[in-house]
Structure 1
């Protein structure tokens, strides 16, 4: 079996991390793997040397001519690699793949990585998924958003937790709050900053470590200064592997307005960290968290509720330890072996 993953570029994001994890594991299982990058040369994750990376263009805009060129180049790659099963992450890429493979009898699996209600281009999404052989969703809520004909092609496969996690931390936790993700509007770090400001009124010795890069970094720096929390917020930038750095953090917070299944949330739980997440569409967080048992769910964009959840963890070491201990059970539920086997079973049946 030969697999070709298709993605615009391998930047430091959740979908890209999942591709890197699956690709590395597939080649270890003697499955041929290529990664086709359609819009850039970024490579944020380490790949096995046996994985062939194909680049067909630099980062580009959305003009019609550039899109046509991209489709022509994709088609040429498909023709030169007969027998590859195509796996497209990102709906526009899946749409281009549908057009590029016309008449070539290629199998195509599209993968929905986020909340479909939160994006435009709904017609492009539906066209791509209708013309795919299978569609992988992370959550049931995401799959149920689509018409019945697409749901019939759908299968739910969660994100895998990497196997090289550090041991569960059992020592005394630092007075730190960790958030990890791209600095973009979706992640709603603005809500987190307001919540953290209120939290600091009661727990002034805590520090917020923000991991990630993105277009809103300067805006967030200015907001931190405006809220007088600048000295308590550290912008850490992008780190490929932050787990050893954050394993002893006091808590992890996901403040997104919408999300699939957050890789960083899963990893924080697997590390035994007390976690807080917004109960955001398309239901990824509530798949992972049983509220009050292995973490805390809060309403989207409500800084007061988020601040209260942070205070609950900071005020009770026993509660923090208990939910952290329960959180580690995601290691089995979302294990690399379980998730990879589901992908292989899907691809083998095509």
Structure 2
């Protein structure tokens, strides 16, 4: 086993793809680094879509070979044993282990290592949205078996309330918000950004950042924009399985000349900083990182009032009901006309080392 006097934090996640959870893992890792921890990121896939923080150590333990094992539970138990052995031999004895997202949680429930916590980043209810009623009880039971094993840290009050309501009172949980590196966000926002669209000028467009999925409700966003004043172009940053479908919708609504699709960008901050305002149309969220990121850059924000996240950071005057096209259209018109009405400051408690300290305090309480 590796000998070290450093305190050790291990953050486990399936892959470092271009999502909010993955960015949060890297930012939280920086927080532990600032507190003097040796930080290790352990992932199951080589996929990496973000620049990796050089202050953290990265490890890859591939899950793919274990998929050949037909029994899911046995597959996860064997992989957990491999993870335990890897950590003990290559990393050392962790002072804290944080499991991120369900693919990791399904494995780490079988780990024999101490000091494990789950980070719950989305509403558990979302996992039941398309579940057949006959299978619902079984799915709830499986999740209870996972999340009763170790303490759960939820990234918003809404996520914690949903977790307790869905899985019962025997779940040990608390709420600790996602960290945001204000200095890094501001630094990255100063990078030059280029676009083939001459209409994309500072303060002359509104922006949406998010994957093209059902969750983000691009259909509602485009229909609302079509009903708004359309005084400024709508810029969409992201990728996803509904990308082509969304482009087709923009064309059918006759707004394809006003909606600019820029694809995924690992640094969306210059686009957020120079926008007239950020709009979110999500049907559900866990915490929704882009809101505090935008607030860090003094960017005005409007959002749907989905079950968790936005209402914990924005005033009621910045929110509209989920799936309400008419209300969102009105709010977008207001954002384009008077963006200063939607500026909100970000609390200093979101800094990475402050958030990391909350994890330590919770573990040792």
After TM superposition, is the score higher than 0.5?
A: yes
Distance 1:246 1:143 in 2: 29
Please state if 1:299 is matched with 2:321.
yes
Aligned residues: 327
Is the CA contact (8 Å cut-off) linking 1:91 and 1:110 kept in structure 2? no
Distance 2:140 2:202 in 1: 44
Give the secondary-structure state (helix, strand or coil) at the position aligned to 2:170.
Answer: helix
TM-score (norm 1): 0.86
Alpha-carbon distance change, 20 to 105 in structure 1, aligned in 2, over 3 angstroms? closer
Is the CA contact (8 Å cut-off) linking 1:262 and 1:284 kept in structure 2? yes
* Cross-structure match for 2:180: 161
* Cross-structure match for 1:44: 49
Greater relative CO (CA pairs within 8 A, separation 6+): 2
Give the secondary-structure state (helix, strand or coil) at the position aligned to 1:259.
Answer: coil
Please state if 1:286 is matched with 2:306.
no
Moved more, 140-149 or 4-13: 140-149
Is the CA contact (8 Å cut-off) linking 2:69 and 2:75 kept in structure 1? no
Alpha-carbon distance change, 19 to 105 in structure 1, aligned in 2, over 3 angstroms? closer
Please give the residue correspondences for 1:1-350 in structure 2 after superposition, counting only pairs within 5 Å: 1-38=7-44, 40-45=45-50, 46-48=52-54, 50-58=56-64, 64-65=70-71, 68-82=74-88, 83-84=93-94, 85-99=96-110, 101=111, 104-120=112-128, 121-132=139-150, 134-145=151-162, 146=164, 147-150=168-171, 153-163=172-182, 164-166=184-186, 174-199=203-228, 202-203=229-230, 205-281=231-307, 283-292=308-317, 296-316=318-338, 320-324=339-343, 327=344, 329-347=345-363, 349=364
Please tell me the root mean square deviation across aligned C-alpha atoms, in Å.
2.5
Alpha-carbon distance change, 255 to 226 in structure 1, aligned in 2, over 3 angstroms? same
Distance 1:274 1:92 in 2: 35
Moved more, 330-339 or 222-231: 330-339
Give the secondary-structure state (helix, strand or coil) at the position aligned to 1:87.
Answer: strand
Distance 2:74 2:348 in 1: 44
Distance 1:304 1:273 in 2: 23
Offset of residue 69 of structure 1: 3.8
Alpha-carbon distance change, 92 to 58 in structure 1, aligned in 2, over 3 angstroms? closer
Q: 5+ residue gaps in structure 1?
A: none
Offset of residue 35 of structure 1: 1.9
Give the secondary-structure state (helix, strand or coil) at the position aligned to 1:310.
Answer: helix
Offset of residue 227 of structure 1: 0.9
Alpha-carbon distance change, 246 to 50 in structure 1, aligned in 2, over 3 angstroms? closer
Offset of residue 253 of structure 1: 0.7
Distance 2:34 2:53 in 1: 12
Please list the CA deviations of residues 239-261 of structure 1 after superposition, one character each: whole Å capped at 9, or x if unmatched: 12211232121111111100011
Distance 2:330 2:67 in 1: 43
Q: 5+ residue gaps in structure 2?
A: 1-6, 129-138, 191-200
Alpha-carbon distance change, 165 to 342 in structure 1, aligned in 2, over 3 angstroms? same
Moved more, 239-248 or 215-224: 239-248
